[in-house]
Structure formats: C-alpha cells, structure tokens
Structure 1
Amino acid sequence: MPPPTHPRVGVGCLVWKGGQVLLIRRGKPPGYGEWSLPGGSQELGETLFAAAEREVREETGVTARARSVLTAVDNIVHDADGRLAFHYTIVDVEADWIAGDPIPSDDALDARWADLVACEALVVWEPLKQVLRTAFARR
C-alpha cells in the first residue's frame, strides 16, 4: 500500500440503545482485531451523517439515525520503519438505534452492545476511551 498523501476523513458512530453503545471488533488495519466504533471513510458527495449511518448498517446490520457531532480525533499510524502508514481525521457522531440486532459483517469480526464498564475493558486505543468517557458523561 502506498503511503498516504493527505489525511482521510473518517467517521466513527456512537450508536446509543438505552445506556449502551454499539462496538465492533475491527476486521482490517489500522487496529485489526481491536474493539472500536462502527465507522469508516466518508465517500465523495456523502454527508458525514449519511456516512455514519451507512457504515453502521454495512458493519453490523443495525439501522441508526445520526443526530450530532461529539468530537474529532486523529489516528496517525507509522510502520515499523517510522514511515507514515495511515492518517485519518475521525469525526465521532452520535446516533440513535432505530432497528436491528448487531451481526458482524463487512469489515467487522464481531459486534455487540456495551456499557461504559464493558467499553473500558474491551477498548485499548486511549483516544477512543476518552471519546467514550466523554459520551457517557454527557449522556
């Protein structure tokens, strides 16, 4: 894979169902095998909210309605030789669950609902832990 030439816009979606959020276990780099929010790259001509809703549906089969932007984080990853491998600016969007049970598909190895205690145990990427703490505190 050639090195990135510019940051890519990504979206992470915090889908709320009661006091829990939807998590997926990533099926591709960066963060392969790690628990994260459903999300991915925004497509040309697609709104941020439409991208969030599409990624949730593709990765889990869940239908959600995006309603607000929570925050944004950078994910800048270097390879073993120190070269830039990934550069994403991830806009984290909050959404409400509309329908469906999480079934992993597309880029997800697993999917589940999680409260804050489960999120703290499953998620390893510290910037995402901070996003989740902020989201649960505001809830």
Structure 2
Amino acid sequence: MSVIQPPRPVLGAIAVVYHLGQVILIQRKTPPNAGWWGFPGGHVELCETAMQAAQRELFEETGVIARPLEYLTNIDVLLRDAVGAVQKQYLLTAVLCAYESGIPAADDDALQACWIPVDEIEHRGLELIDQVAKVARLARQRLV
C-alpha cells in the first residue's frame, strides 16, 4: 500500500555575484518568472550543496566563474493560483560569490545576462523577481 505524499517545497540556490558596485542579473527564459529579472540560479541537485549549485547554475546560465563565499540569506517563494492557493513553494538560498572571470552571456535558461549597478536595479524599469534589489544591497553591505 503506497502513501500519497503531500507536495513539498523545492530547494533552489541563487548566485549573488557582487563586483565593483554591480551584480549579475539574468532575464529568465522559462517558468516560473519567464521574462523577469533575477539572480542566476536553479534547483539544488541530489548530492550537491547549495553553494555548489549556485556556482554551477551561474556558469550554466552566464558563463561566469565565481567562488562561493557564504550563505547570504534565504528567500521563501510561494507561487499562487488565481484564487490564492499555493501551487508551488521554493526555498531559495542566496549564495554570495566572489567574481573570478568571464563576461556574462545568456545561456541555458537565460534570455539576457549582464552586470547592473546595485543603485540602478530599481530604476531601470526591469520586471524584478521579488527581493532582488534587497538581496543585491545585502551583498554590497557584506563586501564593502
């Protein structure tokens, strides 16, 4: 007899690369948040730490190499349907990374990838995924 398990949150990792007053952001190509701007990232794979996942996803989505430094913060994401019921839940671990090399170029599930000054994130008219500007400011605060 099998027991039906209720849906569970999904663990994801995002790479927050802060360098010279800027962070790398991507425009997402695929759901959830297709067309919106946020940090490179994705699912944490089995046998992989969140730090390793952030580093891998960063490279896959932008071609940039960075060294994970520390866990910066966690972000709870609740995706709701039209009546407000939670359809999917994510726990995103933001990993602060030190830039090493590469020029951001969109790849994998990114439409665009670029450096954006932290002070301009909210003034560029980009559709931002929740908490992007807040997390960018937190990264700057940690590394300045």
State the TM-score, normalizing by the size of structure 1: 0.89
1:31 to 10, 19, 33: 33
Residue 131 (structure 1) aligned with residue 135 (structure 2): yes
Decide whether the 8 Å contact of 1:123 with 1:129 is kept in 2: no
- Give SS of 2:46's match: coil
Question: Counterpart of 1:118 in structure 2: which amino acid?
Answer: E
Choose 1 or 2 for highest CA Rg. Answer: 2
- Give SS of 2:131's match: helix
**2:42 maps to which residue?**
40
* Structure 2 runs not aligned, ≥5 long: 1-5
1:93 to 92, 95, 103: 95
1:1-139 → structure 2 map (5 Å cutoff): 5-121=7-123, 122=126, 124-138=128-142, 139=144
State the TM-score, normalizing by the size of structure 2: 0.86
Q: Give the superposition deviation at 1:81.
A: 4.2
Q: Give the superposition deviation at 1:135.
A: 2.1
Q: Give the superposition deviation at 1:12.
A: 1.0
Q: Give the superposition deviation at 1:11.
A: 0.6
What is the identity percentage for the equivalent residue pairs of Structure 1 and Structure 2? 40
CA deviation digits over 1:53-89, x for unaligned, max 9? 1000000011111011110010101122434332100
CA distance in 2, matches of 1:49, 1:24: 19
Question: Counterpart of 1:124 in structure 2: which amino acid?
Answer: L
Question: Counterpart of 1:7 in structure 2: which amino acid?
Answer: P
- Give SS of 1:46's match: coil
Q: Give the superposition deviation at 1:133.
A: 2.3
* Structure 1 runs not aligned, ≥5 long: none
CA deviation digits over 1:99-129, x for unaligned, max 9? 1111101010000001112222335334222
Distance 1:94 1:47, change over 3 A: same
Question: Counterpart of 1:129 in structure 2: which amino acid?
Answer: A
Count of residue correspondences: 136
